[in-house]
Amino acid sequence: MLKRTSLYEAHQKLGGKLIEFGGWEMPVQYTSITDEHLAVRNAAGIFDISHMGEVTVSGAAAAEFLNSILTNDIRKLAAGLGQYTIMCNERGGVIDDLYAYKLSEEVFLLIINASRIEPDLAWLHKQAGAFGRPDDLTVSDSSNNYDAVAVQGPRVKEFIDGCFSGVSTCAMRVARVTDLKKNEIGGFPFAGATMMVSRTGYTGEDGFEIVGRAESIAKMWDVVLESGKPFGIKPCGLGARDTLRTEVCYPLYGHELDEQTTPIEAGVGFFVALDKGEFIGRSVLAEQKASGTKKKCVAFKLTDKGAPPRPGYPMWANGVAVGQVVSGTQSPSLNLGIGMGYVPPEFAKVETVIEIEARGRRTAAVVVAKPIYKRA
């Protein structure tokens, strides 16, 4: 049976079209993907992201442990800061990409992908056991304790402060939500509860992700929609979330990332801190950074009229099939077909002419720099 978030009834009332995603029944759209996408680019949108997993890692050895299993350098985080990071296996393959927040010196919150909650927890517990400091390290699945929403778009900052009950009494670095800088997190009062709010997102726009108890998130959803109404806010589904992240080339697990693909191949090597010391997968990643890889994730756009690219479509160059699309869509912002895919390095250079095959027909395309969409 599919899981449902605390916002299930809200989605039904708003006419959301519900689909299965990562074991959850989630809205793919309410009105149309294009309308919702453009609302986020031009005004504001709110997403239910309660399906994401939350893991708490705590104890005197928490930071040292996390630094041994994640690619980024967690030692650089002060309390109240987060970072995008990646968890790899011994071969450098991606177990998951995630956000790690430092809530205090000994408490970290990991936000993980919905489809990866079980394998992530199994890996974390296995590595925690091998770490050998049981009295100084606890890994806890907090996913059932929290729901979450993302409020994204250029006009969000105009109304988001008014959604909360006042100035924070427990924020780590700031007093108001809009005082948060990118990747900062704090606790803010709402309806008698405290919500964790970070200035992060998955759309390429400014915005905030709000984590709280289920009953509080259900209230927050209504308050944000009401407060954002004069600013053009729309409820948004997974469809717009996907087109938005594809335009700015954010990876999605199961598409750009999997256990057979490394962060270097995926083009997120910036988040691999080889100079921090040993961590799982480091030797493979160091070799790839020094010597190169056999495949690279590239962005592309169609240069001729054709069917929108979709995952699995072959990529051609010089009359030979050279790769495969892993993400693709019709870009609502650019009004043309775009996507990402894996090709050998010799076809990864920007301005390389390629073709995308859809239903037996090839359409001209070109490799472009990431992100595909940039705000003017």
CA atoms within 13 A on the CB side of 150: 24
The CATH number that applies at residue 104 is 3.30.70.1400
CA dist., res. 59 & res. 67, Å (int): 14
The domain boundary, picked from 211, 246, 281, lies at 246
Task: Clarify whether residues 44 and 151 are in a common domain.
Answer: yes
What's the rounded Cα separation, in Å, for the pair 195 and 86? 25
- Residue 10 has a pLDDT of 98
* Domain end position, chosen among 105, 127, 142: 142
Number of domains in the chain: 3
What count of other Cβ atoms lies within 10 Å of the Cβ of residue 208?
A: 24
Query: Which regions in the chain score pLDDT beneath 50?
Result: none
Q: What share of the chain is helix, strand, coil (3-state, %, to 5)?
A: 30, 35, 35
Residue 364: inside a domain: yes
Task: Report if residue 262 sits inside a domain.
Answer: no
Strand order of the β-sheet with 147-152 is 185-190, 193-198, 207-212, 147-152, 44-48, 233-236
Residue 266 lies in a domain: no
Q: Where a domain ends, among 88, 110, 142? A: 142
Q: By the 8 A CB rule, do 112 and 53 touch? A: yes
Query: Does residue 103 share a domain with residue 152?
Result: no
* Whole-number pLDDT of residue 165: 84
Residue 260 placed within a domain: no
Domain enclosing residue 120, as ranges: 53-142
Residue 376: the pLDDT is: 77
Same domain, 152 and 38: yes
CATH code, 308 = 2.40.30.110
Judge if 39 and 188 occupy the same domain.
yes
Q: Are 240 and 40 in contact (CB under 8 A)?
A: yes
Q: Considering the domain boundaries, does residue 372 fall inside one?
A: yes
Does residue 134 form part of some domain? yes
Tell me, yes or no, whether 189 and 128 share the same domain.
no
Question: What angle (nearest 5°) sits at the alpha carbon of residue 287, between those of residues 286 and 290?
Answer: 85
State whether 17 and 151 are in the same domain: yes
Whose tokens are 């994204």? That residue is: 152
- Say yes or no: 152 and 236 in one domain: yes
Beta strands of the chain (E only): which ranges? 17-21, 24-29, 44-48, 53-58, 81-88, 94-104, 107-112, 138-141, 147-152, 185-190, 193-198, 207-212, 233-236, 296-302, 314-317, 320-331, 336-343, 353-358, 361-368
Looking at the fold, whether 20 and 165 belong to one and the same domain comes out as: yes
137 and 102 both lie in a single domain: yes
Is the same domain home to 152 and 198? yes
Q: How far apart are the first and last CA of the chain?
A: 45
> Do 172 and 31 share a domain, yes or no?
yes
pTM of the model: 0.96
- Is residue 320, in this structure, part of any structural domain at all? yes
Are 97 and 158 in the same domain? no
Tell me, yes or no, whether 270 lies in a domain.
no
CATH number of the domain that residue 171 is part of: 3.30.1360.120
